[in-house]
Structure 1
């Protein structure tokens, strides 16, 4: 029994059968001729879909790439502004913190005006603020303020990626595309310091920001020429405004938000804000909010503070120079790539097995079996990393352990994202924003105490405690698997079940 009036979820139908036999596809997707509406993004050509995916993934990558790009600049900036290295990291923390609030603000605007204008204007402002970082005068407070604003606008792609994937791909494609999108989230924080380390070995840090502004400019070009508006009303196709007769008129209207403003049936900004709260208040979300936050947060701490373990000369550290620091960031990047390759096949296997077992029905809770596997590597990777840093194990072992932890994080991030997309198909932007917010909220806090904690009790005990916290947090996963179906049946935001194939 349900406690609310169930509504047909706005979910991408399966490609395994025609929509007229698929209860998850609203009848309004069909025209009078019983064929799909060709304006529906699900019907876009394969090439167009993947150009849109490439554009959204590139800017998703740039979000944390820009945040972590300043990590190797901590030391030269501290010397220039006569700060301690710990104080110099405040620009990184400020940038990370405002990403969380920027993600929540993006949701109601995307719901009202569409995904494309939010992507365009946020990328435009990110480009402008990146140039401002390079032009910043000799003023630490001013630089921190610019980085804070940059983080606020840069986060839109990480919020809207899940929504775009849902809008343009069929259901059984979701987890594979979420793997690509998740890869772009997790590799950015490591490629940023990797590239910046090589640049500042020969250039000043301001020059490094001039160089990276070109990267953001490329993202702006991709948004303008490759992306298209993906929101489409499948419940009542009359709510979709007619397309302008010329390409450039259509492009200007969609980029500016005029096209989305003319669409009927859109939620108001207030309704968009309330949608975020409705998703957060559901037990299947706030339990995963806790788990995802306390497992992901340590990666932010490591990324921002590992340089302080590596730079001091022996016997206190490894004596790494800027190039050596850049090279060790290959370890987490390789971990992300291997995690995507592993998940590409294993997540498909878990999904197909659930469908066969349930005779054509898919139970979203089956997604979470991947986290059972990844949690052990999360704990072992973190725990041994702390022991290795404490005892100055070979830098190769440190790199291997760091990569193993990030590999496991990639697996759990994709599984969590896929699960909340299945549970909240009509509120994917809100769910994605809240996932991003939990990563940011928890990650923002770690740099404030990571170094002091490690110095007080030793890296072995601080990282070991982090590993124990991850294991304890895993306790919510079996809880969600046991009660998730019951929770879904009690809310109109989630489907009772997902039919993906005729049996």
Structure 2
């Protein structure tokens, strides 16, 4: 039972379980043999690289560091832009609803609802296109579409035209929400993904928080159309970065699966570690007999029979030039019918892990949507009576909290994973990320309770804005990072399909919230609304406990039924 996680007894290897660090020498001669396994390690020689890279210099895992960093910087800029598009005009919702001659509820549902529902529907389609033809063509086409819809919305003359531009923008936003986590998995190793995923989440959160702040000032001093044109300019920059610094990451890695190696190394070394305990000396005979029984081969030969020739490439191609990576299409093609690929995300929706992380993800993001949609309604009314610019300024606190959450992600999330893997004799379990779900309870739930109480009592704005919203966003950043990383780690070969399910469910849930949030706040009061959100957050946080205990059994259950779509890499 690895650190409280119920172990698997029916599968030799459960997807997601992997050796993260070298197994430490326990004093037995055999344990040192684990170091002879032909696995690849990081530069320190202490962390096994998961997934194992090939020897091909064009393998995204082998890209030079500068290329990887430019890729993530470009993705971060795009995520920030996408995050800003949704709540761009929230600071002026009340005024714009009056200008268009519609109710606040209709303006909110039309402006955000159309965008979110189209984003949800497009998530599945862009995932299929990315699987079939690679991610780069999808990124390029949709980045151009975002520029076009931004200019269209800026010049819209009617409310219907404006809503239509937002709907198509939602379609074009889908790749930067649904594919980037999978791209991170293409380019970075398991022990490096936590920080990059956190940076992606920070960028998205920064767009949500800083976008309305800047937009509020532009609207107040100029107009909402000038603000929208400024958004279009930012999207032009996104297209340029995408073209130059986001080459194709889809890659067919012709390597022997690490799974069998992982299991062999793990089981042998754990048995040897057990032998080191005087209370379990009787196991030493069983281990030796088990090893000698395998056709009288040595322990070293048995392990290396699984691990040698991890890379099967004999004639390695030359490294592609920078300009070669600028091609619209790399030539990658996954030869499976479109409809069959479309079923991939639907099959992943049967995974208990994906369903639970989708619940976490969709609530966390929807809480942000609710806060942004309701900001103008809450703070532009008595007793606060904020101006458009002041409403925008309240998002500075969530942004600072998001930055702090991102800075804390690496030492807390990645550091915890490495610590627990070391305690588990170097074997990584995806569930090692789940203890950080405590932050959802300690910060986000607490933030909602304090916000509901302070706003309902008309307390000074510093308490709900600086303290409560800061707590909420700090916890959300860490929680989103945990949810995405846990999903990708549990289903490493179906990361794109799994994340697309999460994004789809999140957007459908957020779409529904845009229809009722304003009326809910007006009818029930801010205290009831925020206390309800805090209670839901607390319940989801506590649900991480059984997920930690039974998560590996759930991964075993899903794998044994063969429900996962075939890996396309």
The TM-score bracket by the shorter chain reads: 0.7 to 0.9
User: Number of residue pairs matched?
Assistant: 477
Aligned to 1:185: 204
CA distance, structure 2, for counterparts of residue 109 and residue 326 of structure 1: 37
CA distance, structure 2, for counterparts of residue 476 and residue 194 of structure 1: 35
CA distance, structure 1, for counterparts of residue 443 and residue 74 of structure 2: 32
1:321 and 2:383 correspond: no
CA distance, structure 2, for counterparts of residue 421 and residue 493 of structure 1: 19
CA distance, structure 1, for counterparts of residue 37 and residue 153 of structure 2: 50
In the TM superposition, residue 145 of structure 1 has moved relative to its aligned partner by: 1.1
Aligned to 1:425: 492
Q: Structure 1 residues 244, 173: CA separation in 2 closer, same or farther (over 3 Å shift)? A: closer
In the TM superposition, residue 311 of structure 1 has moved relative to its aligned partner by: 1.0
Aligned to 2:345: 276
Contact 2:57 2:319 in 1 (8 A): no
Any unmatched runs of 5+ in structure 1? Answer: 31-35, 496-503
CA distance, structure 1, for counterparts of residue 51 and residue 358 of structure 2: 30
CA distance, structure 1, for counterparts of residue 456 and residue 50 of structure 2: 55
Alignment of structure 1 residues 114-125 onto 2, 5 Å = 114-125=134-145
CA distance, structure 1, for counterparts of residue 63 and residue 213 of structure 2: 36
| Alignment counterpart, residue 100 of structure 1, candidates 92, 107, 120 | 120
Q: In terms of Rg, which structure is larger?
A: 2
> Under a length normalisation based on structure 1, what TM-score does the superposition of the two structures give?
0.87
Any unmatched runs of 5+ in structure 2? Answer: 1-7, 23-34, 41-47, 256-311, 563-569
Aligned to 1:378: 444
Contact 2:21 2:422 in 1 (8 A): no
Partner secondary structure for residue 68 of structure 1: coil
Q: Structure 1 residues 18, 213: CA separation in 2 closer, same or farther (over 3 Å shift)? A: farther
Contact 1:133 1:147 in 2 (8 A): yes
In the TM superposition, residue 251 of structure 1 has moved relative to its aligned partner by: 2.2
Residue by residue over 1:241-297, the C-alpha shift from the partner in whole angstroms, topping out at 9 and shown as x without a partner, is 978987656523xx2x36224xxx554433332221122111111122223323432
Alignment of structure 1 residues 410-449 onto 2, 5 Å = 410-449=477-516
In the TM superposition, residue 378 of structure 1 has moved relative to its aligned partner by: 1.5
In the TM superposition, residue 132 of structure 1 has moved relative to its aligned partner by: 0.6
Partner secondary structure for residue 21 of structure 1: coil
Aligned to 1:487: 554
Aligned to 1:21: 39
CA distance, structure 2, for counterparts of residue 345 and residue 40 of structure 1: 28
Aligned to 2:365: 296
Contact 1:111 1:267 in 2 (8 A): no
> Under a length normalisation based on structure 2, what TM-score does the superposition of the two structures give?
0.78
Partner secondary structure for residue 403 of structure 2: helix
Partner secondary structure for residue 37 of structure 1: coil
In the TM superposition, residue 85 of structure 1 has moved relative to its aligned partner by: 2.3
Alignment of structure 1 residues 151-300 onto 2, 5 Å = 151-235=170-254, 248=323, 251-252=326-327, 255=328, 257=329, 259-261=331-333, 265-300=334-369
CA distance, structure 2, for counterparts of residue 85 and residue 488 of structure 1: 45
In the TM superposition, residue 493 of structure 1 has moved relative to its aligned partner by: 9.4
Residue by residue over 1:89-140, the C-alpha shift from the partner in whole angstroms, topping out at 9 and shown as x without a partner, is 1212221222222222211111111111111111111111111111212x11
1:130 and 2:150 correspond: yes
Q: Structure 1 residues 350, 141: CA separation in 2 closer, same or farther (over 3 Å shift)? A: same
Residue by residue over 1:48-76, the C-alpha shift from the partner in whole angstroms, topping out at 9 and shown as x without a partner, is 10000111111112112111112123233
| Alignment counterpart, residue 451 of structure 1, candidates 518, 530, 537 | 518
Contact 1:71 1:92 in 2 (8 A): no
Aligned to 1:68: 87
Partner secondary structure for residue 235 of structure 1: coil
Q: Structure 1 residues 64, 18: CA separation in 2 closer, same or farther (over 3 Å shift)? A: farther
In the TM superposition, residue 186 of structure 1 has moved relative to its aligned partner by: 1.9
Q: CA RMSD in A?
A: 2.9
CA distance, structure 2, for counterparts of residue 473 and residue 184 of structure 1: 24
CA distance, structure 1, for counterparts of residue 193 and residue 18 of structure 2: 9
